[in-house]
Amino acid sequence: MILIVLDGLRPDAIQTLGLSEVARLAGRGVSTLTGTTVAPSVTAACMASLLTGVRPETHGVQSTNFHIPRGRGRMRPLPRVLADAGYPSSAFMCRVPWLMRGIARRIAGRLGLGTTGFHGTHANDVLAGAALALRAQRRGLIVLHWPDCDDAGHDHGWMSEPYHRAAYGLDAALGRLLAGVDLSPTSDTMVVAVADHGGGGTVPTDHDSAHPLDRTIPIVIAGGGIEPGALRDGAHLLDVPPTVLRALDVPVPASYEGRPLLDELEPSALAG
């Protein structure tokens, strides 16, 4: 299972800019351009939800600051659930400031990530840093966080010319990744590409509001024998963690607040 977080990629950018690799991945699997993310729609909160399966008010990360979730009740982070089932998890993202490296690794350890890499500033750097894991890790979960669109959106505005260039660069990195991934009908590899949030809804250079441009996200799932189709209406970011577990045949903890997306496909959408 390869989970790619396309940080800040608005769904309308896929069609408006003609992002061919994202569209090609969507055409090979199931997808929606009307998914919804959590509130607040900030990266730290969204990523914590992706990795714990619960809303920000439950896991406790409700600002732009990354920290170890300290939510209400007992949480079961996705990598720990996988580890308990015998599956490894790895995560790769951009380089963090030197003073934050220790904190970042402690957060990764508490979440249950076995391998964590911090590389460069763009999707291509993260992809290069994950190359060994993508070749050698044949089981479990690999998470790739690509910040290109989010960085450009904050610096210049969503759908600005620099944002366009960042989106094209992200799309090209996805193409390079997919060139080395077997998504044939008999493959047991699955790719999930999802944005954590949109942007430019209320403030051109931000994404923390209830505006649909900030809260609406694309969700794409391909491989693992899935035939092309559409995801159900109402698909949510919180549906991604249980989808990962269900695809790997791992029981979904009762604490998870989403529903596995693949459970509600038409029978013809699943090969075999």
Can you list the domains of the chain with their CATH numbers? 2-269 (3.40.720.10)
Q: Residue 269's pLDDT band (boundaries 50, 70, 90)?
A: very low
Higher pLDDT, 123 or 69: 123
Cβ partners under 8 Å of residue 74, min gap 6: 255
pLDDT at 105: 77
pLDDT at 143: 97
233 phi, psi to nearest 5 deg = -65, 145
Q: Residue 265's pLDDT band (boundaries 50, 70, 90)?
A: low
Is the pLDDT score of 145 beyond 70? yes
Q: Please state the rounded mean pLDDT for residues 98-127.
A: 84
Least confident of 144-148, 153-157, 207-211, 227-231: 227-231
Q: Please state the rounded mean pLDDT for residues 197-225.
A: 96
Q: Residue 146's pLDDT band (boundaries 50, 70, 90)?
A: very high
pLDDT at 185: 84
Q: DSSP letters along 133-196, please?
A: HHHH--SSEEEEEE-HHHHHHHHH-TTSHHHHHHHHHHHHHHHHHHHT---STT---EEEEE-S
| pLDDT 10s digits, 59-105 | 888 655 655 556 556 789 999 999 999 999 999 999 876 666 777 77
Q: Name beta bridge partners: 5.
A: 145, 194
Q: Residue 268's pLDDT band (boundaries 50, 70, 90)?
A: very low
Average pLDDT, the chain: 91
pLDDT at 75: 83
Is the pLDDT score of 254 beyond 80? yes
- pTM comes to 0.92
Q: Residue 252's pLDDT band (boundaries 50, 70, 90)?
A: very high
Share of the chain above pLDDT 70, in %: 90
| pLDDT 10s digits, 28-42 | 999 999 999 999 999
